[in-house]
Amino acid sequence: MIKIEKSEFGTFIRDLSAEYKLFAPVGEGRQSAFREVSSADQMNTSIQMTQNSPKTVFLPQTEVLFEFNGDDIQSGEKAAKPMFFWGVRSCDARGMNLLDKVMGQSKQRPDDPAFQDPYWKARFDNAVILTLACHEPASTCFCHWTGGNPFSKEAGDLWAVETETAYLIEPLSEKGKDFVKTLSGYHTASDKDKQEIKTLKKQAESCLRPAVDAKILKEKLPKIWDDPLWDEVSAKCVNCSACAFICPTCYCFDIQDEGKKDKGKRFRTWDCCMFPIFTKEASGHNPRSLARERVRQRVMHKFNYFWETYGESLCTGCGRCIRVCPVNLDIRDVAKQLLEAASAV
Amino acid sequence: MQETKNKKDWQPKILAILCNWCSYAGADLAGVSRIQYPPNIRVLRVPCSGRVDPMFILKSLQNGFDGVLVSGCHPGDCHYLSGNYNARRKFAVLKPLLEYIGIEPERVQFSWVSAGEGERFAEVVTKVTNEIRKVGPAKRLVKGVDS
Amino acid sequence: MIKALREEVRRLFEEKKVDLVIGWGKGSLPMTATPVFIHKAEDVEQLIWDETCSNNLAVYLTKDKRQLVQTNQKIGIVVKGCDGRSLVLYAVENQIKRENLVIIGVPCNGVIDKKKVLKQTEGKEVLSARFEKERMVVEGRGFKTEITKSDMLSRSCIHCNHPNAPVYDIFIGEPINTDSDVAVYPDVEAFEKLDCETRWKDMVESYSQCIRCYACRNVCPSCYCTECFVDQNDPQWIGKSPEITDTLIFHLNRNLHVAGRCVECGACERACPADIDLLRLNRKISKEILERFNFTAGLDIDEKPALASFCENEKQDFIMG
């Protein structure tokens, strides 16, 4: 385990930004996000969680797929300088892995590149993600419901924890190991440091609130598919898309063409299943015309459908949707209500 | 798409939305009487100035028009009785709003021109064209340009 | 006052005067209230009324929630001044039947904007909040601070002069006396004084943050079209991406569609996940409409909306000839 003293941190970041396109948490409050930085003072090192997740870099809101001018077609795919992400929390790191299951790997046809998104792969395959342990989970955090933990080492290429005087870093993946090999001149972590990690982990876990086991919820959800409880649960939802846009694992997109005559572009842009017209068909029929159907779909997708297909929860428990919802529709309360109803069946 | 607006040979492109019964007829009269006026307008004929949705004006600015002129019947003379009164209210809200966000006020203008006012139509177009020529090519709100 | 509210609602259920009451309940986060739907007298204890009750509940009578109005004979709804104006607007625009609504007015001294509180705590999470007269005491991990009400008041409430619902069936407590009925727009006037370049730059910088989530449109009670212009694709009025020109046109056109109908409740601004000052365009339009047509939205059930009526002799200084 490498130890980077806080006094060395500025130089470390400067060197890092020379080798990589370095992304780190920048900004405050609702405009905070992962943005490119070239020095440590551009970073917000005290933020618990950015409002906008790293998804905004890996799956940007708008992405040009290709541009055309007459017969000349320019693909939007660009070979990017490898990216390094500093300060990603474990919920977001898990989120990017989940997105990779959909966009990068292809469960249906693992060896067929036609099922892999080249734009995603160009970015994600070349990125090094450093998962930073979370000292003070917010009251809205519930990563432990879905098998996560503030100090989880489940996702990312490197894992780091901030102590009083230093950052302690260890590799998690092959990419991480290769990266650590390039670091020289730093101390290694002492036993005292490792003891401090244990204390910090306990402190972090004490901030977490009582959990609901999402696995049990997943098993029981299909039982209450038609329950009138969904009307109650969805009553206050106003069908905006704040939750989906801010969610690190929502990946639905719309594709549009824009241009004039023989010059234009095709791009994709985030879409949201909460919009009433999301499932509107050309005939005018809309299979999810009611709010209860859309809210049910969102909850099922996160806590059941994805689990059935890919083996884990699509929700990582980051809590951003809870903070951003204009009507305070709290997914935790919804989960508890559903579990109660499902257990009664 | 965006054409290069070379300062030397740039000519303003102005959309003139004219109501069928008064302003369009007035423009027609100007033409028949061989009255000269700048050739920068592209005419869009509508049944009444009340048909004009502020979205037409916004989209015109977005698609590269340097200015928009909307012209209708004089108040009291509307072929549909009150269409131009409704239009007047819409424009009374739209014009200050556009100015508020920083769109030059000369770009979007309104006039009342009747069917018998051929000379007047030419005057209005000349005035509007000259004013827009002074403020230069439209860059704000244009699609595909970072301004 | 909360007791009085609950008693009134209980009485309404017992006298079978309502099938459903829409009000506010305690939310799952500090300083947050959430809309609640009460179907029976036993549930009235969920109702609260304080400065966290910021949602405009009128929104649940239209749009995708239309079936509430269609399936419930009588609906009771708790409203502040601005929300009550939305109900008047609905009555004027034939979106509700006045006789099927039981309007419960509450006296409002303004609601808080959580974003302002977070600015005061420098972004640190608030774990508990307690109101004490004109202050709020907030506590988080390792800090405790007091914030005055004026520092956390929602922007829409600062210049509000309609704190009481203009039309109501029941009023809880005493209506609030306002010093003056005259609307003031110092924020709009200040922006008008800036030069053209500065105003444009400010607009672009502010609206570049917009992620086009449409939360503003969805929480707005005046936006109830079954098909919004944004969702039309034949013709497609604006592009789907958050390119600044499309974003600005979305906001301009949405505000033009609510021109003369906006009650300045501030729900749009509070719902925005990107902290944009959304009220600024609405307030400019409201100011123009007040000055030119002497009209304020949502006050008089018998008055036609500003853009649906006209006066023959009107100021037309902006028109040539």
Structural domains of chain A, count: 2
pLDDT in tens, C13-41: 999 999 999 999 999 999 999 999 999 99
Question: Do both C99 and C206 map to the same domain?
Answer: yes
Specify which residues B17 forms β-bridges with: B44, B70
Sort out which chain C residues have CB atoms less than 8 A from B96's CB and list them.
284, 288, 318
| Percentage of chain C modeled with pLDDT above 70 | 99
Are A326 and C271 within 8 A, CB to CB?
yes
Report pLDDT for C53.
Answer: 94
What is the number of other CB atoms lying within 10 angstroms of the CB of residue A345?
A: 8
Question: Do both C105 and C129 map to the same domain?
Answer: no
Task: Name the phi and psi angles at C34, rounded to 5.
Answer: -140, 145
Is the pLDDT at B1 greater than 50, yes or no? Answer: no
Question: Do both C30 and C51 map to the same domain?
Answer: yes
Domain boundary among the residues A206, A240, A264 is at A206
Helix axes C244-257, B83-101, angle to 10 degrees: 140
Question: Do both C34 and C159 map to the same domain?
Answer: yes
Question: Do both C264 and C123 map to the same domain?
Answer: no
At a CB cut-off of 8 Å and minimum separation 6, what does C19 contact? C39, C72, C73, C74, C75
Domain contains C317:
no
Question: Do both C14 and C140 map to the same domain?
Answer: no
| Percentage of chain C modeled with pLDDT above 90 | 60
Question: Do both C138 and C232 map to the same domain?
Answer: no
A260, A262, A267, best to mutate vs chain B, most B CBs in 10 Å: A260
Question: Do both A200 and A223 map to the same domain?
Answer: no
A285 has a chain B CB within 8 A of its CB: no
Is the pLDDT at C11 greater than 80, yes or no? Answer: yes
Is the pLDDT at B89 greater than 90, yes or no? Answer: yes
A67, A139, A281, best to mutate vs chain C, most C CBs in 10 Å: A139
What is the number of other CB atoms lying within 10 angstroms of the CB of residue C189?
A: 11
Residue of C nearest to A44 (CA): C123
Are C288 and B93 within 8 A, CB to CB?
yes
At a CB cut-off of 8 Å and minimum separation 6, what does C183 contact? C159, C161, C286, C287, C290, C296
Question: Do both C193 and C126 map to the same domain?
Answer: no
Are B111 and C321 within 8 A, CB to CB?
yes
pTM of model > 0.95: no
pLDDT in tens, A188-226: 888 888 899 999 999 999 989 888 888 999 999 999 999
C297 has a chain B CB within 8 A of its CB: no
Q: Domain B14-135: which CATH class?
A: alpha beta
What is the number of other CB atoms lying within 10 angstroms of the CB of residue A53?
A: 27
Structural domains of chain C, count: 2
Is the pLDDT at B5 greater than 60, yes or no? Answer: no
What's the mean per-residue pLDDT of chain A?
Answer: 90
Report pLDDT for A79.
Answer: 66
Which residues in chain C (41-70) have CB-CB distances under 8 A to chain A? 55, 59-60, 63-65, 67
Angle, CA A153 vertex, CA A151 and CA A156 arms, to 5°: 120
Are A240 and C218 within 8 A, CB to CB?
yes
Are B142 and C245 within 8 A, CB to CB?
yes
Of B75, B90, B112, nearest to C312 by CB-CB distance is: B75
Least confident of A176-185, B21-30, B57-66: A176-185
Cβ-count burial B72-102 (b if 16+ within 10 Å, e if not): bbbbeebeeebbbbbbbbbbbbbbbbbbbbb
Question: Do both C81 and C123 map to the same domain?
Answer: no
Report pLDDT for A189.
Answer: 86
Give Cα separations from B32 to B46, C87, C223 (angstroms). 20, 55, 47
Specify which residues A67 forms β-bridges with: A74, A265
Report pLDDT for A110.
Answer: 78
Hey, is A81 helix, strand or coil?
coil
Question: Do both A158 and A291 map to the same domain?
Answer: no
Q: What are B's interface residues with C at a Cβ cutoff of 8 A? A: 54-55, 58-59, 62, 74-76, 82, 85-86, 88-104, 109-113, 120, 124, 127, 140-143, 147
Report pLDDT for B4.
Answer: 52
Hey, is A149 helix, strand or coil?
coil
Question: Do both A334 and A305 map to the same domain?
Answer: yes
Q: Where are the domains of chain B?
A: 14-135
Distance CA A242, CA C276 (A): 14
Distance CA A226, CA A222 (A): 9
Question: Do both C76 and C123 map to the same domain?
Answer: no
Question: Do both A187 and A218 map to the same domain?
Answer: no
Question: Do both A74 and A104 map to the same domain?
Answer: yes
Q: Interface pTM (ipTM) of the complex?
A: 0.91
Question: Do both A191 and A228 map to the same domain?
Answer: no
What is the number of other CB atoms lying within 10 angstroms of the CB of residue B45?
A: 12
Report pLDDT for A46.
Answer: 85
Are B54 and C197 within 8 A, CB to CB?
no
Average pLDDT over residues C250-255: 96
**DSSP labels for C251-318?**
HHHHHHHTTTT-----HHHHH-TT---THHHHHHHHHHHHHHH---TTS-TTSPPGGG---SS---TT
Chains that touch A (3 or more CB pairs under 8 A): B, C
**DSSP labels for C199-245?**
HHHHHHHHHTT-----HHHHH-TT---SS-GGG--TT--S-SS--HH
Question: Do both A81 and A226 map to the same domain?
Answer: no
Which residues in chain A (107-136) have CB-CB distances under 8 A to chain C? 136
Question: Do both A250 and A321 map to the same domain?
Answer: yes
Are C200 and B120 within 8 A, CB to CB?
no
Sort out which chain C residues have CB atoms less than 8 A from B120's CB and list them.
321
Closest to C84 in 3D by CA, of C208, C10, C11, C176: C176
Is the Cβ–Cβ distance between A293 and A92 less than 8 Å?
A: no
Domain contains C169:
yes
Strand pairing report for A21-26 and A187-188: unpaired
Question: Do both A313 and A266 map to the same domain?
Answer: yes
Locate all alpha helices (DSSP H) within chain A, ordered by sequence. 6-19, 55-58, 90-103, 118-124, 174-181, 191-206, 214-220, 229-234, 242-246, 291-300, 306-310, 320-324, 331-344
Are C219 and A51 within 8 A, CB to CB?
no
Question: Do both A194 and A223 map to the same domain?
Answer: no
Q: Model confidence at B146, in pLDDT bands (50, 70, 90)?
A: very low
B1, B73, B90, B93, best to mutate vs chain C, most C CBs in 10 Å: B93
Of C64, C67, C209, nearest to A31 by CB-CB distance is: C209
Question: Do both A235 and A169 map to the same domain?
Answer: no
Identify the domain containing residue A273 by its residue range: 214-344
| Percentage of chain B modeled with pLDDT above 90 | 87
Report pLDDT for C206.
Answer: 93
Domain contains C213:
yes
Residue B144 C-alpha, separation from nearest chain A C-alpha, in angstroms: 10
Per-residue confidence in pLDDT tens, chain A, 345 aa: 899 999 989 999 999 988 899 999 998 877 889 999 999 999 998 888 998 999 999 999 999 999 999 888 888 777 668 999 999 999 999 999 999 999 988 777 777 888 889 899 889 998 999 999 999 999 999 999 998 999 999 999 999 999 988 999 999 999 999 999 988 888 888 888 889 999 999 999 998 988 888 899 999 999 999 999 999 989 999 888 889 999 999 999 999 998 888 889 999 999 999 988 899 998 989 999 888 999 999 999 999 999 999 999 999 999 999 999 999 999 999 999 999 898 887
Question: Do both C126 and C258 map to the same domain?
Answer: no
Hey, is B73 helix, strand or coil?
coil
Sort out which chain B residues have CB atoms less than 8 A from C229's CB and list them.
55
Specify which residues A64 forms β-bridges with: A267
Report pLDDT for C121.
Answer: 84
Average pLDDT over residues B1-15: 72
Domain boundary among the residues C123, C152, C181 is at C152
Question: Do both C54 and C197 map to the same domain?
Answer: yes
Closest to A330 in 3D by CA, of A321, A340, A318: A321
Q: Model confidence at B2, in pLDDT bands (50, 70, 90)?
A: very low
C279 has a chain B CB within 8 A of its CB: no
Identify the domain containing residue C118 by its residue range: 114-152
Chains that touch B (3 or more CB pairs under 8 A): A, C
Residue C277 C-alpha, separation from nearest chain A C-alpha, in angstroms: 13
Distance CA C19, CA B90 (A): 41
